[in-house]
């Protein structure tokens, strides 16, 4: 695995510092940890990090409870090129809004999801080293990460992609959670004339409503209270490249109108200014919801749907392409065998039969996580059924005395998502949790 960039982690909990260092050191060329922000400025001057992962709460004599915001502003003022990711134990939307307005690149809530943590930090590193990363990402983009398989439906999709990738046509990708919509979007971008520039991604399901406009259009310093630094929006960042908007079905109606205007006029206006900035983007959107039915119910703007839906690609669920399950599993075994330094691992016939019999409500993402777990748990060079740890869906097994609490929670969430046709707001309401909590659990369980 290639390593790039330097990471500085500041947290007063030594266990967290140790855990984050172990998790990130194979992704960054150097990881430095610091237990107090008192020497933060001098350490930055010495180490010259590309990314700073900064805890929001210390006990360093600042009594506001928002020490992270203070140090964020200090770093922004003295080292504006460093991308700051805030680390907080409080899933507080107001605090997150203030941090993003103050110029934070992103934030991570404890307890964290390992994959999300790595993805966020690497994205920050890519943004901070745009010129060098563009060359690296371009070379990696040339090597396709898309597994097409052999099903007729996937072959039809491949044919469509080969015809439209070189155009600037807007593309809507639909499909269940975990079917590989973002992977397909990256494949399309890598085959386009814009591939020399990094694709910009925006996950609409992970952004609090109050942050949508700033994320999309950016803001000017002083645009609102505590806006202490300029912030470029995702649409402007994607100029001359591709903007991938995931979970577009979660976008509030009032922002749909603003997005439509920006797409029609080919410009954006940062909050706090009256000066439009011209943009040239290729838009790829994705959702697990039925936007056509939503438009009929006036839950999604029909004119926006027409704008983003020049080409519509629907990815079939994994259960409808069974011939691809074992080859995909073998591909993931190769990936994780290399990552965890295990050689010549194969899948037994009985394990393969277990994979084929499973429903895969979480699709390819669930299969990927299953095979990672199997590689870790395998104590020989053969993966057996017991290494897979597959649960029985609640719709087929109402009571499973061997199921863990996590198995039951995962199955209940998968069942509710299916019954609500992917409407995450309705799913959260039915489960009695916030949408952000639901989103975190979906990521955690690979749904």
Tell me which of 101 and 309 has the higher pLDDT.
309
The three-class DSSP label of residue 83 is strand
pLDDT score recorded for residue 139: 39
Distance CA 349, CA 340 (A): 23
- Alpha helix segments (H runs only) across 35-102: 40-47, 67-78, 93-101
Residues 6 or more apart whose CB falls under 8 angstroms from that of 139 comprise none
Count Cβ atoms within 10 A of the Cβ of residue 225 and give its class: 0-12 exposed, 13-18 middle, 19 or more buried: exposed
> How much is the mean pLDDT over the chain?
83
Name the E strands within 61-168.
83-88, 106-109
Distance CA 238, CA 12 (A): 36
Q: So what's the pLDDT on residue 108? A: 81
Kindly state the average pLDDT of the residues 412-439. 78
DSSP annotation string for 278-289: E--EEEEEEESS
pLDDT attached to residue 389: 86
173 three-state secondary structure: strand
Task: Tell me what pLDDT residue 400 has.
Answer: 53
Mean local confidence (pLDDT), 362-388: 92
Q: Which helix (H) or strand (E) holds 440?
A: helix 435-445
pLDDT greater than 60 at residue 433: yes
Q: Give the pLDDT confidence score for residue 412 in this predicted structure.
A: 83
CATH of the domain spanning 394-447: 1.10.10.60
Q: In this model, does residue 164 exceed pLDDT 80?
A: yes
C-alpha angle 408-409-410 in degrees, rounded to nearest 5: 90
342: helix, strand or coil: coil
CATH code for the domain defined by 319-356+363-390? 1.10.8.60
Contact between 208 and 97 (Cβ < 8 Å):
yes
Contact 179, 317 (CB under 8 A): yes
Tens digit of pLDDT for each residue in 204-228? 877 777 778 888 888 787 766 666 7
Cα-flanking dihedrals φ and ψ of residue 173, to 5°? -110, 125
Are 132-316 and 319-356+363-390 the same fold in CATH? Answer: no
Please tell me the least confidently modeled range out of 108-112, 131-135, 385-389. Answer: 131-135
Instruction: Give the number of other Cβ atoms within 10 Å of residue 327's Cβ.
Output: 11
6-128 CATH choice from 1.10.10.10, 3.40.1130.10, 3.40.190.10, 3.40.50.2300? 3.40.50.2300
> How confident is the model at residue 96, as a pLDDT?
58
**Main-chain phi, psi angles of 368, to 5 degrees:** -60, -45
**Residue 208 in tokens:** 């609090």
Residue 214 has a pLDDT of 83
Section 53-72 average pLDDT: 69
**Sign of the dihedral through C-alpha 443, 337, 363, 244:** positive
Residue-wise pLDDT tens digits, 244-254: 999 999 888 88
Q: Are strands 231-232 and 382-383 parallel, antiparallel or unpaired?
A: unpaired
For CA atoms 343, 115, 203, 293, the dihedral sign is: positive
Is the predicted pLDDT of residue 185 greater than 70, yes or no? yes
Average pLDDT on 426-430 reads: 76
Which residues 6+ apart lie within 8 Å of 108 measured at CB?
A: 53, 85, 86, 87, 88, 116, 117, 120
Both structure tokens of 376 = 């870790």
Q: Please give the structure tokens belonging to residue 319.
A: 């259960």
Question: How many whole angstroms separate alpha carbon 276 and alpha carbon 52?
Answer: 32
Q: Provide the residue ranges of all domains of the chain, joining segments of one domain with +.
A: 6-128, 132-316, 319-356+363-390, 394-447
For residues 59 and 42, what is the distance between their CA atoms, to the nearest angstrom?
19
What count of Cα atoms within 13 Å lies in the side-chain half-sphere of residue 185?
Answer: 28
Which phi and psi angles does 56 have, rounded to 5°? Answer: -95, -15
Q: Specify the CATH class of 132-316 in words.
A: alpha beta
Answer yes or no: is pLDDT of 261 > 60: yes
């Amino acid at each position: 695995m290639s390593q790039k960039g330097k990471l500085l982690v500041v947290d007063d909990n030594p266990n967290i510092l140790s855990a984050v260092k172990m998790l990130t050191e194979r992704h960054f060329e150097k990881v430095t940890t610091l237990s107090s922000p008192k020497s933060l400025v001098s350490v930055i001057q010495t180490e010259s990090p590309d990314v700073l992962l900064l805890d929001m709460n210390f006990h360093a004599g600042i009594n506001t409870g928002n020490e992270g915001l203070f140090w964020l502003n200090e770093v922004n003022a003295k080292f504006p090129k460093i991308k700051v990711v805030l680390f907080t134990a409080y899933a507080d939307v107001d605090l997150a809004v203030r941090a993003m307005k103050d110029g934070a690149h992103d934030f991570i809530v404890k307890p964290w999801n390992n994959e999300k943590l790595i993805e966020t930090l690497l994205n920050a590193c890519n943004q901070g080293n745009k010129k060098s990363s563009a060359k690296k990402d371009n070379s990696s983009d040339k090597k396709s990460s898309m597994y097409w398989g052999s099903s007729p439906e996937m072959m039809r999709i491949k044919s469509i992609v080969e015809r439209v990738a070189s155009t600037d046509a807007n593309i809507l990708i639909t499909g269940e959670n975990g079917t590989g919509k973002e992977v397909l979007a990256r494949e399309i971008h890598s085959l386009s004339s814009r591939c020399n520039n990094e694709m910009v991604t925006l996950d609409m399901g992970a952004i609090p409503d109050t942050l949508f406009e700033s994320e999309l259009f950016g803001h000017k310093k002083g645009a609102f209270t505590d806006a202490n630094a300029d912030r470029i929006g995702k649409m402007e960042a994607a100029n001359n490249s591709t903007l991938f908007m995931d979970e577009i079905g979660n976008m509030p109606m009032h922002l749909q109108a603003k997005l439509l205007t920006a797409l029609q006029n080919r410009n954006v206006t940062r909050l706090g200014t009256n000066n439009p900035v011209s943009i040239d983007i290729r838009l790829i959107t994705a959702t697990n919801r039925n936007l056509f039915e939503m438009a009929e119910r006036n839950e999604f703007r029909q004119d926006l749907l027409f704008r983003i839906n020049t080409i519509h690609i629907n990815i079939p669920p994994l259960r409808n392409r069974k011939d691809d399950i074992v080859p995909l599993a073998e591909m993931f075994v190769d990936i994780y065998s290399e990552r965890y330094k295990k050689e010549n691992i194969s899948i037994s016939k009985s394990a393969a039969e277990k994979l084929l019999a499973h429903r895969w409500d979480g699709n390819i993402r669930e299969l990927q996580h299953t095979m990672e777990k199997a590689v870790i748990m395998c104590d020989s060079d053969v993966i057996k059924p017991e290494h897979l740890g597959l649960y029985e869906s609640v719709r087929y097994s109402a009571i499973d005395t061997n199921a863990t609490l996590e198995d039951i929670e995962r199955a209940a969430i998968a069942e509710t998502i299916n019954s609500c046709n992917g409407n995450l707001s309705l799913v959260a309401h039915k489960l009695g949790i916030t949408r952000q909590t639901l989103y975190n659990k979906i990521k955690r369980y690979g749904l």
